[in-house]
Structure 1
Amino acid sequence: MKTKDVDLLRRSDLFRFLPDEHFEKICSLLQEEQHDFGDLIVKQGDPANAFYILISGRARVVKLGANNGEEIVLGTLRPGDSFGEAALSEGGTRSATVRCSTRVEVLRLDRAEFLALTEAVPELREYMQVTRRARTLQSFLYEFSNFGRLPTSALRGMIEKLE
């Protein structure tokens, strides 16, 4: 893994509080992947088999609306953002699709390693639970209310105040 990628991970909300021993272990388990513009990294409804951290580029998170089947944009992922933890924790399927808006580099952590890490580090597990609740609420508001017309940053700010 490149030094700049390690630095980005260390500064991310997800990993900045991890003890060095756990951080080094997770870095050794991460696999690099490259995706081109338009590629799907994960697809709504597919089985959850990995957790991802975006290292470079941008990707959109989209979901098919329950009422009309239209695609709803839930947000944009940028370097340092992670995705895929909710379905992994629950052993389910992907709740949204992540589509590349540019050429993208991600780091992938397979399900077994992800679950072992969240068991070993309770703080990480708690962070993931809070993140999952916020994303579930954000998705609901986008899909079933007029709040979906707000910019993502405004909606996230509202959700943080609710917590």
Structure 2
Amino acid sequence: MRQIRPQAPMSSTRHFPFERVREHLLFQSLEDAEWQALTTALLPSRFQPGHVIFQEGDPSSDLYVILSGVVELRRQYVRHPGDYLLATLHAGRVFGELSLLTGRRRSFTAVSLMEVQTLRLSTEGLILLPLEVQVKLYRAWSSIISERLYWIDSMFTDLLEQRGVENVASAMALLHQRYPS
């Protein structure tokens, strides 16, 4: 994988207060005692500008909540070689949750564009949480994933309209071969 150079960050140095982390869709359903249990499992992390937080293909499975700074999510593609920007995340956003849920290797690279402060939930931390907290987190993840699937469905509908059924149908066939149900 080629070296990723950080780009000049947008002016987003705002800090996401820890108290507001609880407002994230992932944590909203937690009662006070459950929230307290979760906070003991959240570990603070700090990354300098240009630091690769994790690399595409890594076996790491931590979830990160950005408290301050900007993180870029990037991916390499074989068919169209290059380093592609997937998303730019600011304070208040969560990333890495799918690897925590599935145990699969990272599907993208996360890079800090400026100094980034996060809270990190590891697989070990998740497993040590009370069962009722784990169940609530999994339910919230299910909701988040459902929203993403709805968004992807909308995106494919747009592609059908823009590029024609044949192009999208062949892309869907390739995806089905790669990820059989």
- TM-score where L is the length of structure 1: 0.73
CA displacement, residues 42-74 of structure 1 (integer Å, 9 cap, x when unaligned):
111000231111110111111112312312211
Q: Relative to 1, partners in 2 of residues 1:136 and 1:35: Cα closer, same or farther, differing over 3 Å?
A: farther
CA contact (8 A) 2:41 2:129 kept: no
Instruction: Specify which of 16, 35, 40 is matched with residue 28 of structure 1.
Output: 40
Report the CA distance between 1:40 and its aligned residue. Answer: 1.0
CA contact (8 A) 1:89 1:115 kept: no
Does 1:112 pair with 2:163?
A: no
For structure 2, list consecutive stretches of 5 or more residues without a partner in the other structure. Answer: 1-15, 161-181
Q: Relative to 1, partners in 2 of residues 1:98 and 1:53: Cα closer, same or farther, differing over 3 Å?
A: same
Instruction: Specify which of 13, 16, 26 is matched with residue 28 of structure 2.
Output: 16
CA RMSD of aligned residues (A): 2.8
- TM-score where L is the length of structure 2: 0.66
CA contact (8 A) 1:51 1:114 kept: no
Structure with bigger gyration radius: 2
Does 1:127 pair with 2:140?
A: yes
| Structure 2 residue aligned with 1:151 | none
Moved more, 10-19 or 84-93: 10-19
Which structure dedicates a bigger proportion of its chain to helix?
1
Does 1:44 pair with 2:56?
A: yes
Distance (whole Å) between structure 1 residues aligned to residue 53 and residue 138 of structure 2: 23
State the number of aligned residues. 142
Report the CA distance between 1:20 and its aligned residue. Answer: 1.1
Q: In the TM superposition, what are the counterparts of 1:52-63 in structure 2 within 5 Å? A: 52-63=64-75
Distance (whole Å) between structure 2 residues aligned to residue 46 and residue 21 of structure 1: 34
Q: Relative to 1, partners in 2 of residues 1:118 and 1:98: Cα closer, same or farther, differing over 3 Å?
A: farther
Letter in structure 1 aligned against 2:96: G
CA displacement, residues 18-42 of structure 1 (integer Å, 9 cap, x when unaligned):
1111111111121111111111111
Letter in structure 1 aligned against 2:108: A
SS of residue in 1 equivalent to 2:60:
coil
Q: Please identify runs of 4+ aligned residues in structure 1 that moved more than 6 A.
A: 136-142
Q: Relative to 1, partners in 2 of residues 1:99 and 1:79: Cα closer, same or farther, differing over 3 Å?
A: same
